Every structure is written in C-alpha cells, then in structure tokens.
Amino acid sequence: MTDAISIAAKRSAPRNQWWDVWDQFKTHKGALVGLAVFFSILALIIIGPWIWTQDPGFVNLRARNQGFSAAHPLGTDQLGRDMLARIMAGGKVSISVGLTAMLLSITLGTLIGVLAGYFKRLENLLMRGTDLFLALPLLPLLLLMVTLFRDPLSRSFGPETGIFILIVTAIGATSWMQSARIVRGSVLALKEAEFVLAARSIGTPPRRMITRHILPNVMSPIMVSATLGIASAIITESALSFLGLGFPPDFPTWGRLLFDAVDAMQLYPARVILPGVMISLTVLSVNYIGDGLRDALDPRIRGR
C-alpha cells in the first residue's frame, strides 16, 4: 500500500493510459518480437521496392527458373521474373487486403454491436441477424461470391481494382460477427455504468453518448479483434488465391505466388517455401501482437 502511495506521489503529471498499456505490452516477449517482425515485413514491402528497383512483372525468358544469385537474390520464376521483387509486390497486396478487409469488418462489427447494445429496439433484430450469419457456411459462400461476381466487377473497375474490391468486401462481409458480439457485450455492460447514467441525466443525446462515452470505452476489445482480424483476413485471401479464385495471374500476392509455384514444387521447392514463410511469419507475428495486446488492454492483468 505504501508503495502505491509513494509511486502515486512521485508521479507529478497524470500519465496517459496508453503508456500503461505499452508498459504491460513490453513485458510480453512474444508480442515484442511479433511487433518487430511485423514492422520489418512492413519495411521490406514498403521501403524494399525503392532499394530493389527491379520490376516484378519484367519477363526475362533467358533467366528462367534460376536459383539464388547476386543478380536475383531469391532466384527467378518460370518466366524469369525476379522473385524478390515479386515477394515484395505480393506482400503489398496481401497486407493491404488484410488491413482493408479488417477495417471493413471492424467498422461493420462495431456499428452493429453498438447499435444492438445501445438501442433495445434494434437488439433482437440485429443479434438474430448476427446468429444467422454465424450459421452460414462461410468458406463455401466466400468461394461462391468470389467466383460469381469476379467478371462483372473486373469489367466495371478493371481487373485489379475490381478483384481487390470484391475480395475485401467478401472477407469483410463474412467476418464481422465475432466483433459485433464482443462489442455488444461490452456496450451492454457499459450501459449500466454510473458515468453513463450521469451523462444521460445531464441530457446527452444518444449520438454524442455513443461517440463520447461508449466508443472510447469499448476500444480495447475492438483493437484486439482488429489485430486478430488482420491475421485471418490475410489467411483467407491467400487461401482464395491458393484455390485459384483470388487475384489474376499476372498480379502477384503471396497466396498467388504459392499457387503458381505448386506445379513445379518438386523441382523448385524454394519458390513454394518463400511466399508460404512470408504468409506464416506475418500471421504469426500479428497473432502474437494480438495476444500481447489482449493482456495489455485487460485492466485486471495490467498493473499487477
């Protein structure tokens, strides 16, 4: 007890709570390593193309299927395209699909969760809808959506943007349910809190109530499920690409690179391993970050 008082006395300015979160996060070694790995992958795919300026689509039929060399550090593929450049370009697509799909699914999930938790009239309808979505066979439907709507979308937005929109929407529309449930649970608990009663008693309108008092307090579960959402979106995108239902062939993503290399995996196993390792490393690091965040954002664990 005396310790706590002396620490409180020493601290002159009130500390931002995110510093506490960071302090707790730092104690989780796996999460720190995960953060470091994730940032180095991000650096590789963002800064990498500025340093390694080879065009990932440049076909050089004289340098097909080469091994590791100085000219091509990770070798070349069956059309002589540089693997390092393709891995970097593929990562850019895979990670941006992951991030955008996560944003979409979190926005949807939070919106539905907050509405269902805050407004009693909507609750029944929205939560039955969530249950219905949870009962849908998601992977088959995802495959179906991506196959069926691929042509019209790529016709109206061009092959790359069209497929990007399609995949992001498909993943987002099939993954928001978990976060909606979590958010609704937290909102229901928060609604009974005294500060909410106080805010209501001074006449705060529902809109400001949600943006001012409810949303900031449900940030932690949202952040955790956002982190885990990135991981599952990356896996889903690469699974779609692996089944041949993802991006068009000349448009590299990690899943697509893996899919293209599977045919020749007996001769050139490195071309399968490289994109696979990149997917796995990214997902693993993101999952570890999520694990650490969950501990760091849990006030029962923090400060112990």
Partner 1 sequence: MFTFALRRFLIAIPTLLIISLVIFLLLEAAPGDPLGEVPLTVPPEVKEKMRAALGLDSAWFVRYFLWLKQFFWVEPLNLVDYLFNTQYAEGMQRVISFQSRQPVMQIIAQRVPQTLTVVGLSYLIGVSIALPIGIYSAYRQYSWFDQLGTFISMVGFSVPTFFTGVVLIIIFGVKLQWFPSIYDTMHRVTDWQSFLVQVRQMAMPVMVLSLYNAAQISRFMRSSMLDNLNQDYVRTARAKGLTEKVVVLVHVLRNSLIPVVTVIALGVPTIFGGAIITEQVFKVNGLGQQLITSIHSNDMPMVMTLTFIFAILIVTFNLIADLLYGILDPRIRYD
280 binds partner 1 (CB under 8 A): yes
Contact residue for partner 1 among 42, 99, 138, 199 (CB under 8 A)? 138
Q: How far apart are CA 113 and CA 133, in angstroms?
A: 14
132 binds partner 1 (CB under 8 A): yes
Number of residues that bind partner 1 (CB under 8 A): 40
Taking CB under 8 A as the binding criterion, the range among 76-84, 95-103, 199-207, 272-280 that sits at the site for partner 1 is 272-280
CB 179 within 8 A of CB 105: yes
Smallest distance, partner 1 to C-beta of residue 143, A: 6
Q: In terms of Cα–Cα distance, which of 281, 262, 280 is closest to 272?
A: 262
Taking CB under 8 A as the binding criterion, the range among 148-156, 187-195, 204-212, 217-225 that sits at the site for partner 1 is 148-156
Instruction: Name which of 159 and 276 has its Cβ closer to partner 1.
Output: 276
Taking CB under 8 A as the binding criterion, the range among 75-83, 118-126, 128-136, 187-195 that sits at the site for partner 1 is 128-136
Tell me the H-state helices in the chain.
Answer: 2-10, 17-26, 29-46, 48-51, 83-118, 120-134, 138-148, 150-157, 159-173, 177-191, 194-201, 206-208, 215-217, 219-242, 254-262, 269-297
Output Rg (C-alpha) for the chain, integer angstroms.
Answer: 23
Please give the C-alpha separations between residue 83 and each of 41, 95, 180, 253, 276, in angstroms, as whole numbers. 16, 18, 40, 12, 13
Bridge partners, residue 82, by sequence: 76
Contact residue for partner 1 among 36, 43, 144, 301 (CB under 8 A)? 144
301 binds partner 1 (CB under 8 A): no
Taking CB under 8 A as the binding criterion, the range among 5-13, 77-85, 109-117, 287-295 that sits at the site for partner 1 is 287-295
287 binds partner 1 (CB under 8 A): yes
Instruction: Name which of 196 and 258 has its Cβ closer to partner 1.
Output: 258
105 binds partner 1 (CB under 8 A): no
Map residues 224-263 to x or -, x wherever contact with partner 1 holds by CB under 8 A: -------x---x--xx--xx--------------x---x-
Contact residue for partner 1 among 141, 165, 188, 223 (CB under 8 A)? 141
283 binds partner 1 (CB under 8 A): yes
126 binds partner 1 (CB under 8 A): no
131 binds partner 1 (CB under 8 A): yes
102 binds partner 1 (CB under 8 A): no
Q: How far apart are CA 214 and CA 250, in angstroms?
A: 46
Q: How far apart are CA 36 and CA 267, in angstroms?
A: 33
Look-up: residue for tokens 């696979």?
276
Angle at 55 between CA 51 and CA 56, to 5 degrees: 105
Q: How far apart are CA 127 and CA 115, in angstroms?
A: 10
Q: How far apart are CA 80 and CA 58, in angstroms?
A: 8
DSSP state of 214: I
- Binding residues (CB under 8 A) for partner 1: these are 30, 131-132, 134-141, 143-145, 147-149, 151-152, 231, 235, 238-239, 242-243, 258, 262, 265-266, 269, 272-273, 276, 279-280, 283-284, 287-288, 291
